[in-house]
Amino acid sequence: MQRRKFIHYVRLGAIASYLSVALAACTDSETLTENEEDISVTESELLTIGTIAQLEESGFLLNEESTIMVIKDKNGKLVAVNPTCTHQGCTVEWQNDENVLLCPCHAAKFTADGKVLAEPAPSPLPTYEAIAEQGQVIVKI
């Protein structure tokens, strides 16, 4: 083999091995990141909390198992909150006539969509998206 051809083959081999390592490193990490994001997006689930008829009758629905309360505010909007008071963990109660959530333990008050109206609660209640569909109240968690 001529010296010139030998050097040419060595250069081609070096370039090929460098490219394969570089491509593998880029492709694997980006694919993993994209897949992880896809999984987190699809992890939310829909939960049926009760019926529209039950909500109309009592003014609220409480699913203690999933700690979700759905209320219909004075504007007719469905709102889903976690009813666990952010002060010390008591379950807040819906006061339909005042359109507020009241904590029976230390009198913290929240708006229908969970914002703090009166202390000692340090932060708002977590909220979720709620919809009415085919007579059912469904919450996306």
Question: Could you tell me the smallest distance in angstroms from the CB atom of residue 73 to ligand FES?
Answer: 20
Question: Could you tell me the smallest distance in angstroms from the CB atom of residue 105 to ligand FES?
Answer: 4
Question: Could you tell me the smallest distance in angstroms from the CB atom of residue 31 to ligand FES?
Answer: 46
In the beta sheet, which residues pair with residue 128?
80
Question: Could you tell me the smallest distance in angstroms from the CB atom of residue 91 to ligand FES?
Answer: 9
Name which of 49 and 103 has its Cβ closer to ligand FES: 103
Name which of 47 and 105 has its Cβ closer to ligand FES: 105
Name which of 84 and 136 has its Cβ closer to ligand FES: 84
**71 neighbors 94 (Cβ within 8 angstroms):** yes
69, two tokens: 């309360």
Question: Could you tell me the smallest distance in angstroms from the CB atom of residue 141 to ligand FES?
Answer: 22
Strand spans (E) along the chain: 46-51, 60-63, 68-72, 78-81, 93-95, 100-102, 109-111, 116-118, 127-133, 136-140
Name which of 116 and 141 has its Cβ closer to ligand FES: 116
User: In 3-state terms, what secondary structure has residue 90?
Assistant: coil
Q: Is it true that the peptide bond before 83 is cis, omega within 30 degrees of 0? A: no
Q: Which residues make Cβ contacts (< 8 Å) with residue 83, sequence separation at least 6?
A: 62, 67, 68, 69, 91, 92, 101, 125
Give contact residues for ligand FES (rule: CB under 6 A).
Answer: 85, 87-88, 90, 103, 105-106, 108, 120-121
